Structure 1
Amino acid sequence: MKINIDKNRLSLKLWEYFMVFALSIVGLLWLLQIVFMNSFYETMKIREITKIGNNLVEMYKTEDFQEELISLSFKQGIVINILDEYGNLIYPLDIFDIIKQPRLNEKLFNDFLSRLYLSNNNYVAYVVEDERLDESTIIYGAILENDDGSNYFLYINSMLQPVDSTTNILKNQLIMVTFIALILSLGLSLVISKKLSKPIEKITDLSKELALGNYDIEFDKGEYTEISNLANTLNIATKELSKSEELRRDFLANVTHDLKTPLTVIKSYGELIRDISGKDDVKREKNINIIIEETDKLSKLVDDLLELTKLQAGLSKLDLEVFDLSDLAENVADRFKYFVEEQGYRISIEKSGDTKVYADKMKIQQVIYNLINNAINYTLEDKLITIKIEEKNENVVLSVIDRGQGIDKDEINYIWERYYRSGKSHIREKSGSGIGLSMVKSIILAHNGEYGVESEIGKGSRFYFKLKRYANVKD
């Protein structure tokens, strides 16, 4: 049976990265301790001999020079000599050296002088093969300047001890360390990868439930900040989706009601015309007018839905012109004469300052109409609605104020959303699908204006919008 393994799983990727890291560390240890051991040891030994030689050069001609030379030679196990310009040993000398007058091998001494004089420094350090001992030797040389006569040379010779035996020991140890490290890394990487991936897998499973429409789920916070932030974000998104779904259901219920009512009226009066009106022209005309009015309501509802869709999609173009917002507000208020004359509503208009704006007159007219209609729906018994148009700094502000019950704080953030309709009681039976304020929001945003609401329970609400005053509009 073939097992399908998802190579892109987070747990597998974390395990791979951890193993690569562990192998890299072990590989680095092998390189430093085994492969580069000899070169590393040689470099460190040359530095050590060079430091000793440079210190002796600085101490030359001091009282402690000879004592320090002998001391270092014994402590470090190295040969330290002072030679003249012919390679003869000057110091240290014992009684036998005085008789024998030892001299450095001519070939070695000539190579030594050649390297020293070609050096950019006053000293030289290098490695040569000692043919007698068949071992590598470190040679250090420096010029010891004398005030009178020829100069002397500091010559240091140190055997470069082989580290093969040490390398073999380290190699055996590293084999054990590598085996143990890989086992531990394998186990630790599996634990860590599972611990890190588990909360993400849990969030993924819950997200699938969310995609199926279950909005009652809650994403748990993890031990890590990033997981907690992700869970918080998804919880907020879940709440918003839940509210959106609720608004959608309300919208469908509202639209169904608003479509069904005119259709029922149209059908009823159509039947009256067919069955009762007969040749009575007055009744027939009255019934036909009612049918036309209800048809107009349906047409306006559809037009509003289409216009809102265009506005929110950015497809509705603005036909900009200069006009007085106060005059437009008065014209729109006149369309509500029926409520003033027949139902006792009072609409007061207050204006001050320069209220000319540069905007789409038809769309701003729709904004004002929706705000006044909203106020009529929710005002209380005094039926007073105040419309204020005033100049404020560089803006013109239009406010529609009612003395209704006000809006609850829990609802005030959602009244501008599409499909939303407040559940508060009202005086006049409200109709509409809950898109009036959403249209206000979309139209004002399309004009780069500002909108808002101030409300207090039991005292009423003030809906307003701001547009740039025409004098301050830049081309």
Structure 2
Amino acid sequence: MMHSSSINTRLWLTYTMIIFLVLTFASAGIIFAFQRSPLLYRQIFLRMDLVSNLLTDRLSFVINADWDPTIQLFFKEAELLDVQVAILDSSGTLLFHTMDYSVDQIPQINDPFTTAERSADRALVFNDAEKEDWFYQISQINDAYYLLVAARRPDVAIQSLFQDELVKPLLRTGLFALIGAFVLSWLMAEWITRPLRKISESAKNIAVGKYEKVPIEGPMEVQQLALAMNDMSQKVEKSLQSQRDFVANVSHEFKTPLTSIQGFSQAIYDGTVHNKKDIQHASDVILNETNRLNVLVNDLLTLAKLDAGTMSMTKESVELNRLMQSSIERFYYELEKADIKINPVFSDEIYLYADAVRLGQVFSNLIDNAIKYSIPGSEIQVTISRQGRQAMVTVSDTGPGISEEECARIFERFYQVDKSRQGGTGRGVGLGLAISKQDVEAHGGEISVSSKVGEGSTFMVKLPIEDATNK
């Protein structure tokens, strides 16, 4: 048993790997997003807003006084909050800036008024000559002067993200989601593999002759597989049963004539039969039973060839009405003897691409059965009609009819409706209709029966009408 490499384990590992990769990429995306998120710099933005609001108000009062000492004092306060500031005029010219704030770190602003409007609700970003990022915003002191407040954007360490009050709940949620996903993946794998295990078990049971139906469950594809397995199991069981019945029937059909042949041959050999009349009778029985065996063997060979697809057929253009008429004429003496008439109703000429010998044998077999089961003085209806691209042939008798149950089995090998005819004169072995069915299907057609007990039976043969010139 190789549970380590079972489909259940493989599915579970596959689901787990997919979930792990998804969570890994999602986590990486969240970390990257947090590194770029304004939430991480909210303390810087708060300090910038505080300095901007404070200095804008203060500077507006000393706008016409001596700026320099007052401005330097204010700038010292800004530096204590780790914020750099500068004063620009309305044209963007730099007038004052804090000591640690170099000119290269100050963005070039040509229109302070527009920039102030843009930075009113969010900080702008400037990349200086040393490729460092700075947050900055501009506020208006009065119509002539503007205050620029800036702070260097710090590099955020990844470990600091895990100290954020938003990241921790996300991590806990992700952990619970991972555990839940593992459990769910196992349940999904079990949901898929459980019916597969039952199908596997069913296959093993078939090998030992147990034909149990597999429950239809699981995903749609697995359900389809279970249906196919049940169908195959039923067909295998039916096929094996047919083989057993076939062997039993063949044995019986061979045994009966062989017993007669053996018995009469032994009688002649022992001298039990000594007068000419008895010897003639014994010879007739031996000859008839030998002929019967010959027919049986030929029928079995025909069925074997049809099953294997090796039956040699010489197909050519055949006119259906003439072929049926020829089949009817073969039974002239049998019809006279049985006092039965055939009423043929044919349509216009219908040409088929068919083997005239095999198709004629089908029609002969249907007519022969109709004669056997019709009462004297009755009439057999034979019709041929065109139905689109198909030809319909029907043979109807007024015999005892066939029950619905027997109709379903009428084309099985060795099946005989009238069991009382077994062993009697003119009996068959139940292969005629089975061979006829195979012959019709070999021509791309189908054969069926419609019957009602006490009213007779109608056998219907549908054959495709094909253009022989294209063959």
| TM-score normalised by the chain length of structure 1 | 0.68
What displacement does 1:291 show? Answer: 2.8
Q: Name the amino acid aligned to 2:459.
A: F
Rounded Cα–Cα distance in structure 2 between residues aligned with 1:407 and 1:275: 46
Aligned to 1:107: 104
Partner residue of 2:435 out of 436, 439, 442: 439
Distance 1:282 1:331, change over 3 A: farther
Aligned pair count reads: 417
* Aligned residues of 2:384 and 2:392 also touching (Cα < 8 A): yes
Rounded Cα–Cα distance in structure 2 between residues aligned with 1:188 and 1:391: 62
* Aligned residues of 1:127 and 1:139 also touching (Cα < 8 A): no
Q: Name the amino acid aligned to 1:329.
A: M
Partner residue of 2:248 out of 235, 253, 266: 253
1:312 aligns with 2:312: no
What displacement does 1:30 show? Answer: 4.3
Aligned to 2:70: none
What displacement does 1:409 show? Answer: 3.5
Partner residue of 2:17 out of 9, 20, 24: 20
The more displaced of 4-13 and 301-310 is: 4-13
CA deviation map 1:382-425 (0-9, x unaligned): 665333334555554322112234344345444335x2625565
Partner residue of 2:381 out of 386, 406, 416: 386
Distance 1:398 1:101, change over 3 A: closer
What displacement does 1:241 show? Answer: 3.7
Distance 1:344 1:79, change over 3 A: farther
Distance 1:24 1:272, change over 3 A: same
What displacement does 1:458 show? Answer: 3.1
SS of 1:397's partner is strand
SS of 1:434's partner is coil
Higher relative CO (Cα under 8 Å, sequence separation at least 6) belongs to 1
1:88 aligns with 2:90: no
Rounded Cα–Cα distance in structure 2 between residues aligned with 1:438 and 1:204: 35
Distance 1:374 1:178, change over 3 A: same
Distance 1:207 1:325, change over 3 A: same
Partner residue of 2:6 out of 9, 27, 34: 9
CA deviation map 1:191-214 (0-9, x unaligned): 543454333323322332233222
Partner residue of 1:368 out of 333, 342, 363: 363
What displacement does 1:361 show? Answer: 1.2
Rounded Cα–Cα distance in structure 2 between residues aligned with 1:188 and 1:103: 58
Rounded Cα–Cα distance in structure 2 between residues aligned with 1:78 and 1:374: 112
Rounded Cα–Cα distance in structure 2 between residues aligned with 1:327 and 1:371: 16
| TM-score normalised by the chain length of structure 2 | 0.68
Rounded Cα–Cα distance in structure 1 between residues aligned with 2:288 and 2:369: 21
Rounded Cα–Cα distance in structure 2 between residues aligned with 1:219 and 1:380: 50
1:29-428 aligned at under 5 Å gives the runs 29-33=26-30, 37=31, 40-41=33-34, 43-45=36-38, 83=88, 87-89=93-95, 105-109=102-106, 112-113=107-108, 125-128=125-128, 137-139=133-135, 157=151, 159-160=153-154, 162-164=156-158, 166-169=160-163, 187-215=183-211, 217-222=212-217, 225-276=220-271, 284=279, 287-336=282-331, 339-379=334-374, 384-391=379-386, 395-417=390-412, 419=413, 421-423=415-417
Distance 1:294 1:334, change over 3 A: farther
Q: Name the amino acid aligned to 2:209.
A: G
* Aligned residues of 2:317 and 2:468 also touching (Cα < 8 A): no
Task: Flag structure 2 segments of 5+ consecutive residues without an equivalent.
Answer: 46-55, 61-77, 112-117, 139-145
Q: Name the amino acid aligned to 1:108.
A: Q
SS of 2:383's partner is strand
Rounded Cα–Cα distance in structure 2 between residues aligned with 1:399 and 1:460: 13
Task: Flag structure 1 segments of 5+ consecutive residues without an equivalent.
Answer: 53-65, 90-96, 117-121, 143-151
CA deviation map 1:7-48 (0-9, x unaligned): 441221222123213322442354235xxx3x54454449x9
Identity over aligned residues, as a percent? 25
CA deviation map 1:348-388 (0-9, x unaligned): 44434325544211111211122223334554676653333
The more displaced of 324-333 and 77-86 is: 77-86
The more displaced of 439-448 and 281-290 is: 281-290
* Aligned residues of 2:34 and 2:161 also touching (Cα < 8 A): no
SS of 1:169's partner is coil
| RMSD after superposition | 4.9
* Aligned residues of 2:192 and 2:222 also touching (Cα < 8 A): no
SS of 1:319's partner is coil
The more displaced of 366-375 and 345-354 is: 345-354
1:442-453 aligned at under 5 Å gives the runs 442-453=438-449
Distance 1:340 1:270, change over 3 A: farther
Q: Name the amino acid aligned to 1:297.
A: R
Aligned to 2:71: none
Q: Name the amino acid aligned to 1:162.
A: V
Distance 1:292 1:101, change over 3 A: closer
* Aligned residues of 1:301 and 1:432 also touching (Cα < 8 A): no
